[in-house]
């Protein structure tokens, strides 16, 4: 048997929406993008959503919209995808790494206060694998120190913890619709705004600082626009939105299948004594990625064995402070963030998507148990 690492779930409904869009006047940001923004905001129960080209763009715009710049510090976990820290650098600010919890791999809230300086302006929790950081506790901490919260919710569209979804109490949360994400348009993203001021700034910044969007400029009669500040070109467009709209409807149903697969993996791996990150209590995980922790020093051997058995694998993630660029820039040495490093040395990701058949799930389970 061969089990791909990922297969998307786009089907007839997405194709129908796409064809409708291709037959319409607007291929760029138009009515479908606006509809996506409304419906996604509704799904998340957040005040507003701004459609962008990627989660990276969304995180960057959120930092910009919240005024993060030169000389500022932003707290970021080192157990994440590089995008989380890279966008901080792109703003001219410094990512300050804070280690993660050993049970979940999520930012360790108990270690944040020790990392706060007079330059700290924001915290970027990462809802890793779809498991949410304790946002209520983080919000209290942020308010105590006057810090903004920008959530990296790339993995966490369907996540809820203690009744809170990403974007509901963070100043801004960015989502990814990259090719392997739970909802996908190949590339794409969305960013939430907790208030109208952030919403307006995100909208300006995503399109060159222009006072009117393409749809507004061409509505009925041509209308002049102005440039109000120096912005970027990160707007979502209708082709992406068309693919995403039906997926908002199916998200809850598909999550049930993801949950079922994860519970099977968890039960079998627990029985076999294999370790994996725990979903925190009170959290409904978005179940984006399923990772297992190989015994220390054996991860690459296990990866190779699984590939020999034709099981698709990935590594999410090696701790980012030890990647060449960050190590050179900030002279990090091994041992700086031991929990993230230990997870980064042991972690491997196995197939998890609704299209997996029961036989494939059984095959992946048996392959992991016999390879580890
Ligand atoms: C945790 C995390 N943050 C940010 C991103 C960036 O997302 P995008 O590729 O949509 O820019 C990813 C992408 O995989 C991610 O996994």
DSSP label at residue 131: P
Calculate how far, in angstroms, residue 321's C-alpha sits from the geometric centre of ligand 1. Answer: 17
Q: Write out the chain's pLDDT in tens, 372 residues.
A: 999 999 999 999 999 999 999 999 889 999 999 999 999 999 999 999 999 999 999 999 999 999 999 999 999 999 999 999 999 999 999 999 999 999 999 999 999 999 999 999 999 999 999 999 999 999 999 999 999 999 999 999 999 999 999 999 999 999 999 999 999 999 999 999 999 999 999 999 999 999 987 777 777 788 899 999 999 999 999 999 999 999 999 999 999 999 999 999 999 999 999 999 999 999 999 999 999 999 999 999 999 999 999 999 999 999 999 999 999 999 999 999 999 999 999 999 999 999 999 999 999 999 999 999
What local confidence, expressed as pLDDT, does residue 89 receive?
98
Residue 235 confidence (pLDDT): 97
Query: From the CB of 131, is ligand 1 less than 6 Å away?
Result: no
Which residue from 109, 115, 106, 105 is spatially nearest to 74, judged by alpha carbons? 115
Residue 268 exposed, middle or buried by CB count within 10 Å (0-12, 13-18, 19+): middle
Nearest alpha carbon to residue 319 among 338, 291, 295: 338
Q: Kindly calculate the radius of gyration of the chain based on its CA atoms and give it in whole angstroms.
A: 21
Q: How far is the CA of 27 from the centre of ligand 1 (A)?
A: 24
Which mutation among 5, 6, 52, 56 tests ligand 1's pocket best, with the greatest number of atoms within 8 A of CB? 56
Is CATH 3.30.2010.10 the right assignment for the domain spanning 251-371?
no
Please pick, among 2, 181, 212, 221, the residue that the annotation labels catalytic.
Answer: 181
Q: What is the pTM (predicted TM-score) of this model?
A: 0.97
Atom of ligand 1 nearest to the CA of 316: 16
CA–centroid distance, residue 153 to ligand 1 (Å):
8
* Atom from ligand 1 closest to the CA of residue 178: 10
Query: Are 65 and 180 in contact, with CB atoms under 8 Å apart?
Result: no
**Substitution site in 154, 166, 181 for ligand 1 pocket (most atoms within 8 Å of beta carbon):** 154
Ligand 1 centre from 222 Cα, in Å?
37
Omega prior to 19 cis, within 30 of 0: no
Which CATH class name applies to 12-246? alpha beta
Residue 180 alpha carbon, nearest atom of ligand 1: 14
- 225 CA to middle of ligand 1, Å? 33
DSSP secondary structure letters along 62-109:
HHHHTT--TT-EEEE-SSS-THHHHHHHHTT-EEEE--B-TTT-SB-G
Q: Which of 364, 350, 348 is nearest to 315 (CA)?
A: 348
Domains in the chain: boundaries: 12-246, 251-371
Give yes or no for residue 234 CB within 6 A of ligand 1.
Answer: no
In this prediction, residue 215 carries a pLDDT of: 74
**Closest ligand 1 atom number to CA of residue 152:** 3
2 is a catalytic site residue: no
């Amino acid at each position: 048997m061969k089990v791909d690492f990922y297969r998307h779930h786009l089907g007839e409904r997405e194709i129908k929406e796409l064809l409708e869009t291709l037959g319409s006047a607007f291929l760029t940001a138009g009515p479908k993008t606006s509809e996506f923004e409304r419906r996604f905001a509704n799904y998340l129960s957040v005040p507003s959503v701004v459609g962008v080209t990627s989660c990276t763009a969304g995180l960057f715009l959120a930092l910009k919209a919240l005024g993060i710049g030169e000389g500022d510090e932003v707290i970021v976990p080192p157990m994440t995808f590089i995008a989380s820290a890279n966008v901080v650098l792109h703003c001219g600010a410094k990512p300050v790494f804070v280690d993660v919890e050993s049970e979940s791999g999520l930012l360790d809230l108990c270690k944040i206060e020790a990392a706060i300086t007079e330059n700290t302006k924001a915290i970027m929790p990462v809802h890793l694998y779809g498991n949410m950081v304790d946002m209520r506790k983080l919000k209290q901490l942020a308010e105590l120190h006057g810090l903004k919260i920008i959530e990296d919710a790339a993995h966490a569209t369907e996540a809820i913890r203690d009744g809170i979804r990403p974007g509901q109490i963070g100043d801004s949360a960015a989502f990814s619709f990259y090719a392997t994400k739970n909802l996908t348009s190949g590339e794409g993203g969305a960013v939430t705004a907790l208030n109208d001021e952030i919403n307006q700034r995100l909208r300006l910044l995503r399109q060159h600082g222009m006072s009117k969007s393409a749809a507004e400029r061409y509505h009925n009669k041509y209308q002049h626009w102005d440039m109000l500040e120096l912005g970027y070109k990160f707007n979502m467009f209708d082709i992406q939105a068309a693919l995403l709209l039906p997926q908002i409807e199916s998200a809850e149903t598909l999550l049930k299948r993801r949950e079922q697969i994860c519970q099977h993996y968890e039960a079998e791996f627990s029985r076999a004594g294999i370790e994996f990150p725990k979903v925190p209590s009170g959290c409904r995980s978005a179940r984006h990625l399923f990772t297992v922790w190989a015994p220390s020093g054996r991860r690459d051997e296990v990866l190779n064995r699984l590939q020999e058995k034709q099981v698709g694998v990935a590594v999410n993630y090696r701790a980012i402070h030890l990647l060449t660029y960050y190590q050179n820039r900030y002279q990090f040495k091994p041992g700086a963030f031991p929990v993230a490093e230990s997870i980064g040395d042991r972690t491997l990701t196995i197939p998890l998507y609704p299209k997996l058949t029961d036989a494939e799930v059984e095959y992946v389970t048996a392959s992991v148990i016999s390879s580890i």
